[in-house]
Amino acid sequence: MELLSSTKVSGGWLKRYRHESLSVKGDMVFAIFLPAQAESANVPVLYWLSGLTCTDENFSQKAGAFKKAAELGLAIVMPDTSPRGTDYPGEHESYDFGSGAGFYVNATVAPYSNTYHMYDYVVKELPTLVEEHFPVTDKRSISGHSMGGHGALICALKNPGRYQSVSAFAPITNPTQCPWGEKAFTGYLGDDREAWKAWDTCELIATASERLPLLVDQGEADNFLEEQLKPEALEQACEKAGHELTLRRQSGYDHSYFFISSFIDDHLAHHAKALGL
């Protein structure tokens, strides 16, 4: 790994690294916050997945999460949102597909199937790397925003026993039934809508073998609420399956990091409790 930067914050350290990824067949950048407690003992990890157009830096610069994480003794790992360095036809033409929009799936349609394996990267490769090189335990939790909220939910649902807890801010809950998801899944997974269901939270909840309680915050002034995010679909799926869901509708809040920063401490506390902190 190549250390790109190291910054002291809240008594701990925020470090950014570049490394060669086997999952995406190219270089990836991620950031990790290590609280002061990590200097004397291994600490558990929260994996944060960001949304459309983002990199690892959006959360680290805007979420205001490190003071609370430092108090709890919680490390936070922040990966990028998609592979970089490729130049496929159409990859850079829109904000909601290709660059910055990996959707945390394993693409099956060429040419994206060559490198767009963000699911494998987030679930398998990155945690293995982090646990090998940093003072962390194998106790993990996962959270994210928007496209990253979708990613956090499907990663937890598809991997029983791998995460201690899961949460999301304004997640794309039902991507098989919204424009963002339909565009991305067609490009990454092809036209078979049945295959899409393996990457849809509302579909996965019905057959989930593990019932981690879901904590979701959703701003009621979110511009994407009705067309893209569909929290009511998540409510219906959870009610039908008997899956515990705490869905907090936050009056006046939009889709931005102002919203995330207002409630991030609650999410960190949710994960800390599950992680035994």
Residue carrying the six token digits 């399956």: 241
Options 21, 150, 222, 271, the catalytic residue:
222
Options 146, 165, 243, 270, the catalytic residue:
146
Bridge partners (DSSP) listed for residue 46: 76, 141
Spatial separation of the C-alpha atoms in residues 73 and 275, rounded to whole Å? 11
Spatial separation of the C-alpha atoms in residues 127 and 32, rounded to whole Å? 11
Bridge partners (DSSP) listed for residue 142: 47, 166
Which residues, 6 or more positions from 135, have their beta carbon under 8 angstroms from its beta carbon? 34, 38, 39, 41, 42, 43
User: The tokens of 220 are what?
Assistant: 């009621």
Is residue 146 part of the annotated active site? The answer reads: yes
Q: How many residues does the chain have?
A: 277
Tell me which residue of 203, 190, 112 sits closest to 153, measured CA to CA.
Answer: 203
The 10 Å Cβ neighbour count of residue 79 is: 27
Options 117, 145, 243, 255, the catalytic residue:
255
Determine if residue 203 is left, alpha or beta; phi over 0 gives left, psi from -120 to 50 gives alpha, anything else beta.
Answer: alpha
Spatial separation of the C-alpha atoms in residues 4 and 125, rounded to whole Å? 20
Q: Are 160 and 209 in contact (CB under 8 A)?
A: yes
User: The tokens of 244 are what?
Assistant: 């515990």
User: The tokens of 190 are what?
Assistant: 């092809």
**Cα 70 to Cα 91, 138, 277, distances in angstroms:** 38, 19, 12
Catalytically active residues are 146, 222, 255
